[in-house]
Amino acid sequence: MKTDCGYLMSQLQYMGGRIFEKILRDSGIDAFTGAQGRILYVLWEHGSLTITKIGKMTSLAKSTLTVMLDMMEKKKLVRRVPDPVNRRQIHVQITEKAKGYKKEYDDISNRMTELSYAGFSDAEMECLEGMLKRIKRNLESYEA
């Protein structure tokens, strides 16, 4: 079947990204960007993770993360701690400073959600989320 879903999702990504960055800045947050927020998102949840795990959870490539984490370390949002046992691994720890931004970020995420899914019923949102998860599984099994 012919569909434009892929194209539509790109567009939502561009627009949504611009809007999110703007709301962040309008809220006076200059400590981190939207992209950095997506990495913090998994660290707010887990506190400390290896880079490989962050890659799995965010779906970002590892070379992307090296760069992002460099920046975030410079801004004291995260800390790299080598694993004493497996010396190949680096644990990325979230700092107290970054923990302090969680609430504000959640508020902005919620605003973004309200704005994006205006007019959606709960059932529709669940339906959408379910389908996105299925697509994710499809892509993951292809990439693997």
Among residues 62 and 126, whose Cβ is nearest to DNA? 62
DSSP assignment, residue 101?
Answer: T
**Would you state the structure tokens that stand for residue 89, as one six-digit string?**
């691994």
Rule CB under 8 A: which of 104-143 touch its own copies?
109, 112-113, 115-120, 122, 124-125, 127-129, 131-136, 138-140, 142-143
What's the gap between Cα 13 and its chain centre? 13
CB 28 within 8 A of CB 113: no
Under rule CB under 7 A, which residues in 66-95 are in contact with DNA? 66-71, 80, 85-91
Contacts of DNA in 18-57 (CB under 7 A): 18, 21-22, 25, 33-36, 38, 50-52
Rounded Cα distance, 117 and 114, in Å: 5
- Between CA 38 and CA 124 the distance in angstroms is 24
Question: How many residues interact with DNA (rule CB under 7 A)?
Answer: 37
- CA of 81: how far to CAs of 22, 50, 52, 92, 131, in Å? 33, 9, 14, 6, 37
Q: Which spans of this chain sit near its own copies (rule: CB under 8 A)?
A: 1, 3-16, 18-19, 38, 41, 58-61, 109, 112-113, 115-120, 122, 124-125, 127-129, 131-136, 138-140, 142-143
Q: Which spans of this chain sit near DNA (rule: CB under 7 A)?
A: 10, 14-15, 17-18, 21-22, 25, 33-36, 38, 50-52, 59-71, 80, 85-91
